[in-house]
Amino acid sequence: MTAHSFRRVLVTGAAGFVGYHLSDRLLGEGIEVLGVDDLNAYYDVGLKEDRLSRLRGREGFTFLRADIVETDRLLELARAFSPDVVVHLAAQAGVRSTDPWPYAKSNLNGFLSVLECCRELRVGHLVYASSSSVYGANRSAPFREEDPVDHPVSFYAATKRSNELMAESYAKLHALPCSGLRFFTLYGPWGRPDMAYYSFTRDISEGRAIRLFNGGDMLRDFTFVSDAIEAVVRLLGRPPGDSEVVDGAPTHRIYNIGNSSPVRLADFVQCLESEIGREAVKVLLPMQPGDVPVTYADTNRLRATVDYVPNTPISKGLRHFVEWYRNYHCVADTGLSLPGEVSTQPGAMA
């Protein structure tokens, strides 16, 4: 068991993909966790409940259903728990939605609520999820934390960049130590079913066509979830100090959390086909609004801070995911194959 400088961690979005894995890891190391989640229906609530079922009853874990936007309620829960660290993972996800209001509520108002809670309780470290999407269509690769990030291509990305600026202001105004984590395309067991790798696995397994935007010619820095969790746990005990004047604020620092090894989407699918034992029927579509052609993390800052960077190869990571998927969904390994690739015009598939 690793020795930590913190003993009590409040995790928002604890029923989510990253929140579940982080809570599981912390509990395994003897850390008390208060999980907060509103269990909204953005995707299957049953999956969120199944994640929680693996945490409930474990020593040191408490779960409370609450909406982070309700500041007074969040403050009441946090004050009773008295966390050393707050990890803020709750958010409205997805880059392609055209409805901005859920993003404004969860990602802007919700984050302000968390900041106010941390300020009021003088929390020792706020660690929050940002996103690689803040880099927009950055043409300079790999992406470095110092790169300009003023041209988001989705409203989701705009809210995540706003979170970074909000955290920086609280770091300056209230000396609140903050670490922002720009996650790069996380995947793995217990993942989100709205993510491409999950829906690809489902559709390939069931013999349905998959849609490849930009003809599959996009590069993604796929990052296995356990690697990301390792980085997060190491960072929890490393709040930026007053002497570290970085990112414009003495107590605010941003980190890329990525594998630093971009994979072409078409090659990713080929690897997935190999693990599933079935060839996908592919529908080739143009680039969609909100998408970017490449994501690629420079992780030198992360390595320098915690002596670790994600490194699981895509073949190993997908093997773990497919094994979990088959077990969770009771899917047999059929070994069947389907031929083909289909070109179509935009909108041909819903």
Catalytic residues: 156
Using DSSP, state whether 225 is helix, strand or coil.
Answer: helix
- Listed in sequence order, the residues at least 6 apart from 345 whose beta carbon sits closer than 8 Å to its beta carbon are none
User: Hey, what are 198's tokens?
Assistant: 């999950």
Pairing outcome for strands 219-220 and 263-264: antiparallel
The strand pairing partners of 253, in sequence order, are 179
- Listed in sequence order, the residues at least 6 apart from 184 whose beta carbon sits closer than 8 Å to its beta carbon are 132, 220, 221, 222, 223, 256, 257, 258, 259, 295, 297
What are residue 220's phi and psi, to 5 degrees? -130, 140
Q: Are 295 and 222 in contact (CB under 8 A)?
A: no
C-alpha distances (whole Å) from 293 to each of 199, 274, 343 are 20, 24, 19
C-alpha distances (whole Å) from 335 to each of 76, 281, 327 are 53, 15, 16
Instruction: Find, among 199, 313, 295, 216, the residue nearest to 256 by Cα.
Output: 295
